[in-house]
Amino acid sequence: MGILHELQQQGQSVWQDYIERGQTRSGALQQLIDAGVRGVTSNPSIFEKAIGGSAAYDEHIRAILEAAPDIDAHEMFELLAVEDIREAADVLRPVFDSSAGGDGYVSLEVSPHLAHDTAGTVAAAQRLWRAVDRPNLMIKVPATAEGIPAIETLIAGGINVNATLMFSLADYEAVAAAYLRGLARCAAPQHIASVASLFISRVDTAVDRLLEVIGTEAALALRGRSAVANARMIYQRFRATFADNEFAPLRARGARVQRPLWGSTGTKNPAYSDVLYVDELIGADTVNTLPPATLKAYLDHGRVAATLTAQVDEAQAVLAGLAGLGIDLDAVCRQLQREGVQQFADAYDQLVAVLQRKRTVLTGG
């Protein structure tokens, strides 16, 4: 039994935080599934690297341009992305079927430029849902103030949602409440799946910087510990939320819990273990999305233990220590969300620029 299958026995699913059609068409994605990978996520940065970093998409781009020479670059990207997502969803369909819809999902993000536009997010998500036309699709929606009501509306309308760009307990509580409200309005909640994606490594990066400015022994001792502590406390809130009486009627109608998903789990600081955010965040009813390098490292030297519930007191102590040093973790997380929206918007714009350049090259312009 491989280590990813051992994780599955602990109740955690591993999804790959990467997608590109070469992997799907070569059989590489199937090999990962055989090893225990149970889903795939995407974002504008991932697509920018996949499309701009190879010629794998050139034939499709040329065909699109021949059929529609004046097509907008945004529409061109959507056509490319929809094909990738469909192909990955089809490869993952046996996982979806065998898990009765518990896993086997592929995530596709609405344009990050819609992060502060509720109606625009809902319309884009509905359009993408229809275009991909696969039951194992999840639409990624950022957990901004404007994204929260969009999440509720989409869940109520029967669309699977990956609520993304979460950093704080407040983000989690808003997303979970939107999910519950959406389920209550949904005609068939038993067919809905959703994850609440908490970004991990960026919290340590931001907080460590503040700790190093403080520079005391107590401050430096907390480096590399805030992100895991934050995730562990959010996991405790998740368990309480879905054990509460409010969820009982929905569970009776076949509704699933909204699993926490750990995102941004590639270790940024080379002084830390390259599998830190996998080893320390293992628990039931969770998903961990691993970029290819982290997935490779974990397959090589990861370990399996129920770490999410093992050190809750320590997590509380870490967060109390940050507060005692004057570090406002909520404020840090709000800033990280603003930066995350902008970073994805920048990546989307770079992707559009890549497609414009490819248009010029492939049409001899």
- Greatest Cα pair distance in the chain: 64
Residues 6+ apart with CB under 8 A from 3: 36, 298, 299, 302, 304
Residue keyed to tokens 């950093």: 167
20, 55 contact by CB (below 8 A) = no
CA atoms within 13 A on the CB side of 50: 22
What three-state secondary structure class fits 287?
strand
Cα–Cα distance, 340 to 35 (Å, whole number): 31
Q: Pick the catalytic residue: 140, 268, 296, 358?
A: 140
44-52 helix and 329-362 helix, angle to the nearest 10 degrees: 30
User: Is residue 49 annotated as part of the catalytic site, yes or no?
Assistant: no
Encoded tokens for 160 = 């699977």
Q: Report the Cα 17 to chain-centroid distance in Å.
A: 8
184, 250 contact by CB (below 8 A) = yes
What are the angstrom distances between the C-alpha of 4 and each of 32, 104, 291, 317, 344?
A: 10, 14, 14, 31, 29
What are the angstrom distances between the C-alpha of 271 and each of 135, 181, 201, 205, 336?
A: 41, 42, 13, 12, 22
Given CA atoms 126, 127, 130, 133 in this order, what sign does their dihedral have? Answer: negative
Residue keyed to tokens 């059929």: 67
Helix ranges (DSSP H) in 215-328: 217-220, 226-243, 248-252, 276-279, 292-301, 312-324
Residue keyed to tokens 């009501």: 149
Instruction: Give catalytic residue positions.
Output: 140
